[in-house]
Structure 1
Amino acid sequence: MREVSLSAGSVLDLAPHDVVECAADAGYGWAGVRLSNPRREAPAVGTALARTGLGLLDVEVVRLAAGPLSDDHRALADAAATLGARFLLTVVDHDDEALAVEQVAALVEHLRGTGTRVALESMAFTGLRRRADAERVARAAGAQVLLDPLHLHRAGDDLGAPADPDVVGYAQLTDAADPPSGADLAHEARHLRLPPGEGGLDLARFLGALPADLPLAVEVQSDELLDTEPRERAAALRAATQGVLDGRS
């Protein structure tokens, strides 16, 4: 049975600790949080995790620009490890692959001995544009990757390509209008996503290529859905996700 997590992106109007409470109320077993100030926000997240009994699937987001790891990167990694997150979501924002390998390997080394893995996400508007780019860097650096069907589709990757369980740590579930709703792919990803099963992505093919026990994070960043109350939104996304998993949509 797949573990399903409420991604921070689906409820960005909530504080990180409230994301955990919201996920529990909506019937998720896991949550993900986005920390802008890990030292200040992490304690309340830890309290919410202890109270609800939820697991923490991921902490967002390390953004790697050119240069060495920063104190902010390490602070976020430390918070993820302290909170028991399974993954630290990481994005590469430059085009130097050798440097990316070096940076990610340093982040992996920083987390060595903890239960937290570095997970790279490919996006057409970042340094790791294609799935193969992220997987190549992950293998070289000892990290894993996160698969998002929207980003894969927009980059021209095959949603049905088999996932190597040694390198793919988890996946996101989302949907989108098809054909593309506009040329600005970053804007689409951050503002125009659709609930699973309500768009044009072949999610059945995507899920069929994943290991049966690979965790899923439901990420639907949508300006339209921001008009709904967060807990109602989270519950509706959970129901939509279950419909896709059950083959009803």
Structure 2
Amino acid sequence: MPELSLSAGSVLDLAPADVVECAAAAGYDLAGVRLADPRREAPAVAAALARTGLGLLDVEVVRLGPAPLTDHHRALADAAATLGARFLLTVADHDDEALAVEQVTALIDHLRSSDTRVALESMAFTGLRRRADAERVARAAGARVLLDPLHLHRAGDDLGAPASEVVGYAQLTDAPDASPGTDLAHEARHLRLPPGQGGLDLDRFLTTLPADLPLSVEVQSDALLETAPHERAATLLAATRTVLTRRS
């Protein structure tokens, strides 16, 4: 079974350091954190990683706008490197592909002395809408991509397309198969379902991925916010393992 990470998005009601503690208590192999104030929050995350022995899969999220990298972008990259994160999750909020390559290359240069890789995520409501868009930029800049089956499905991408050499990791989530309408961002941030409880063809998606590719469990769900974070994390881990047993 691949390494499983508790995504920050699944427990946004927790502080970043508490996400690490929650992931460890629930039995995940890794955790991911979303840092609003990386310089202030990183030390507590580092302490939690040391206490639990957990690894850090990713730090979120660099949002690239139509301007040069900002101090906040660089602070996120510095935190990811210092914390030993495998990936710095990055999203392009503009559709200038040449600029995106330039920005991602600058991030990679900033991280040159670390083992942290930049990972681009495509979403139908961002500048890199399709998987192919993210992969073009990743290849040109020397980055990786993150695959999310919900975003792929809503953008019209084939969940059964083979994983390319630039895929760094993937997320596991679910959602009703029927389109939610035009507000895809709202669905992604509020209406996700635990893996295996929706209409996405996760079995087909998983067959395209290397067996050892890390998986981040990301289920941003207003309905699940009614349960305590630790209970939610455990429920999502159990659902994920059930889906994964069908692949083995």
Q: TM-score, normalised by structure 2?
A: 0.99
- Contact preservation (8 Å) 1:182, 1:188: no
The aligned residue for residue 68 of structure 2 is: 68
| Separation in 2, partners of 1:212, 1:65 | 35
Structure 1 spans left out of the alignment, 5+ residues: none
- Contact preservation (8 Å) 1:128, 1:134: yes
The aligned residue for residue 28 of structure 1 is: 28
Q: How many residues align?
A: 247
Aligned ranges 1:4-15 → 2 under 5 Å: 4-15=4-15
Aligned ranges 1:88-103 → 2 under 5 Å: 88-103=88-103
- Tell me by how many angstroms 1:183 deviates: 1.9
The aligned residue for residue 85 of structure 1 is: 85
Q: Does 1:59 align with 2:59?
A: yes
Aligned ranges 1:115-194 → 2 under 5 Å: 115-164=115-164, 166-194=165-193
After superposition, what is the alpha-carbon deviation per residue over 1:132-160, rounded to whole angstroms, capped at 9, x for unaligned?
00000000001000000000000000001
The aligned residue for residue 214 of structure 1 is: 213
Q: TM-score, normalised by structure 1?
A: 0.98
Structure 2 spans left out of the alignment, 5+ residues: none
The aligned residue for residue 201 of structure 2 is: 202
Aligned AA for 1:232?
E
The runs of at least 4 aligned residues of structure 1 exceeding 4 Å deviation read none
After superposition, what is the alpha-carbon deviation per residue over 1:3-33, rounded to whole angstroms, capped at 9, x for unaligned?
0000000000000000000000100010000
Q: Does 1:224 align with 2:236?
A: no
| Separation in 2, partners of 1:109, 1:11 | 31
Please give the secondary structure, in 2, of the residue aligned with 1:33. Answer: strand
- Tell me by how many angstroms 1:181 deviates: 2.4
- Tell me by how many angstroms 1:95 deviates: 1.0
Aligned AA for 1:207?
L
Identical pairs, percent: 82
| Separation in 1, partners of 2:192, 2:204 | 19
Root mean square deviation, CA, Å: 0.8
After superposition, what is the alpha-carbon deviation per residue over 1:80-139, rounded to whole angstroms, capped at 9, x for unaligned?
000000000000000111000000000011101201000000000000000000000000
